[in-house]
A and B are shown apart, each in its own frame.
Chain A
Amino acid sequence: MFALVPLAIAGLIAWRREFAATLTDPLVRSVLVAQAAVLVWNLSWLAVVRSYSGGGWTGDWYGHWQRCQFFLKRPDVNVLFNGFDPLPSRPPLVNVVVADWLTIVGNEFANYQLAMTAWSSLAFLPTALLAIRGARFMRGGSPARALALLTIFFMLSPMAVQNATFAWTKLPAAMFTLASLEFFLAARPWAGDGMRPVPAILCGVCLAAALLAHYSAAPYAIVLTGAWLAGGLWTGRRTRWLGATAAAAAAGLLLLTTWFGWALAVYGPGGTFLSNTTATDRAPTLALHAAAVAGNVLDTVVPHFLRSLDRSLIRQPSPWGFVRDWWFMGYQVNLLMIFGSTAWLVVLVAGRHSLRRLPAGHVASWLAAVGLLILLGIGSHSGRDHWGVAHICLQPLVLAGLACVAGCWGALAISFRRLLIVGAVLDCVVGIMLHYAVQGFVIDRWLEPDRPIAAFARTYNLTAFDNFIVKRGADWRFVGDTFAERQGIPVAVALVILAVSLWVIRRQSEAANIRSMKP
């Protein structure tokens, strides 16, 4: 792994002229600054976490740590992660790369947390490009303002912050998925011989990488591949399209073969394809499976507080723990609230504005693609979950929705902008601040500074206590433990970053307004 560091530096030095030219581009600079702001924001909240908690989320954060250790220590290939999970139940890309990084930075749990949050924060980069694309697509849109807005949306999204600080591989997969969407749009497969082959190949490679990061990218792979083929078949001249399609498919399949070829040789077809929860949790009959999926669709669309269900998962002695979990199970698993408490409505309005700008034939295709993504994203979870399953596959769709709002901001009525702002403030308070206060035992320690945190951990729900026991049993030191006596520092850093980002938005909005007023 160490050889890669000088190799990477050599690559930058050898093509330094092009690199310098890229860095002098004003938009690239803005993107990099915004990316840094999102990274610092996420790391700040990570530095508050002393034990993971929130609804029923458990297992994955240490399962992926164990997988990284697998690639470092190389035990028997039949080892079970978390005591039940075989290696092929999850694809390896993120674990292999993070294991690479741990050889450089030190094989400690805190470094693993930092690495996972840093990579997850990179999901902002393709989302930013999509927002810029959206702003250019809309009449009078401002790419700089869209970028600044998206930065704030990313920061104030409970889904984005939680998925960045909970050490799993959903946002790395979302990063590759959204990158493939950006390259798909850049390749223009519907343009026949007018399409561009390089972004086509990048689209294929990124889609394969997304699948190797997390199988939750599969619905996007299906929909993008279908859209690609449909786009090409509608066009008249297809020579260039055929060549680019073949190259993109070959590049993607070659990358997929590295994992699936090895896994098939070691575990066989059953072990490779039937060990994921999509297969293991499947109901015994097709009718029962269809019923489970239909139930999940309904429970993912309707928030838990609008229907009756067994709430024992979030029952606990701590009142603020209960309030946190009540909101958490909306923000993380419900199809509407995962965008934000009011943002879902604004996303729908922004989507309508975007569709109006499309040629008539494309509107139905986009609507069908989004509908299919939602259906496949929810349907890919085989087990019945009464709280909702938006957290399984829908993160890229949510981020694309936020990019759409950022790009369409100028076209939105002032009432919808205000609605979004009010919702974002609420999301920040109950979806982020309260959530991290609970994960850092901030309120408990403020009220009873002399009690040990183990006593507080017992006052939250059973899943939270289970996470605490695992951490305590393994004697892992979290990033948050370093700041245990100085939890105000990361919070202050986060608030400064937020204030600076809001100031930048104000400047960009004023500049956009001045431009739009010019004759």
Chain B
Amino acid sequence: MMSFALVAPTLLGLGWPLVARWRAEPAQRLLAAVCLSLIAQYLFGWLVYTLDMPVRRCSPWCRSRSPA
């Protein structure tokens, strides 16, 4: 469960720089940051897959019983 705490910042932090200065309601900024963060993660993962870049299948923090 602790390793899920590492995922949490990626739900907000990747999109935040794009919307931080946007003059909108704070709740709208929050929603935009979450959506853009998820899209950024998709673009990153898609790039890794299509360019056949190496995937480390288990992080130093996870305690997987069955690494991929």
Q: Which residues of A contact B (CB under 8 A)?
A: 1-2, 4-5, 7-12, 14-15, 18-19, 21-22, 25, 27-28, 31-32, 69, 71-74, 92-93, 96-97, 99-108, 111, 114-115, 118-119, 122, 125-126, 128-129, 132, 175-176, 179, 182-183, 186, 198-199, 202, 205-206, 209, 212, 255, 258-259, 262
Contacts and interface: CB of A to CB of B under 8 A. Distances in A.
A1 B45 contact: yes
Contact of A105 (B4, B13, B65): B4
B51 to A, nearest CB: 11
B27 A11 contact: no
A111 B9 CA distance: 17
Interface string B27-67: 11111101111111111111011101001111111111111
Contact of A108 (B25, B37, B59, B66): B66
A28 B27 contact: yes
A12 B10 CA distance: 10
9 contacts: A2-B59, A11-B15, A12-B9, A18-B21, A32-B30, A107-B64, A122-B34, A209-B38, A262-B50
Given A15-B17, A100-B41, 8 more contacts: A28-B30, A69-B68, A71-B45, A72-B55, A73-B68, A74-B55, A108-B65, A183-B32
Contacts of A262: 50
A74 B49 contact: yes
Nearest to B29: A22
Contact of A209 (B28, B35, B60, B65): B35
6 closest pairs, A vs B, by CB?
Answer: A8-B13, A106-B64, A106-B62, A15-B20, A25-B26, A96-B45
B24 A186 contact: yes
Contacts, number: 175
Given A125-B31, A199-B24, A205 B39 contact: yes
B44 A4 contact: yes
Contact of A11 (B17, B24, B60): B17
Nearest to A475: B66
B39 A255 contact: yes
A258 B10 CA distance: 21
Interface of B: 3-4, 6-7, 9-17, 20-22, 24-32, 34-46, 48-50, 52, 55-68
A258 B56 CA distance: 23
Nearest to A114: B4
Contact of A103 (B12, B13, B38, B55): B55
Nearest to A8: B13
B40 to A, nearest CB: 8
B41 A97 contact: yes
Contact of B57 (A21, A97, A103, A122): A103
- The DSSP consensus for interface residues of chain A is helix
Given A21-B26, A100-B45, A205-B39, A125 B34 contact: yes
B42 A9 contact: no
Contacts of B10: 4-5, 8
A206 B37 CA distance: 11
Contacts of A111: 4
A126 B5 CA distance: 22
A66 B64 CA distance: 18
A259 B50 CA distance: 10
Contact of B17 (A5, A14, A129, A198): A14
Given A4-B44, A71-B45, A198-B24, A11 B30 contact: no
Nearest to A202: B32
A199 B6 contact: no
B3 A106 contact: yes
A106 B13 contact: no
Contacts of A107: 57-58, 64, 66-68
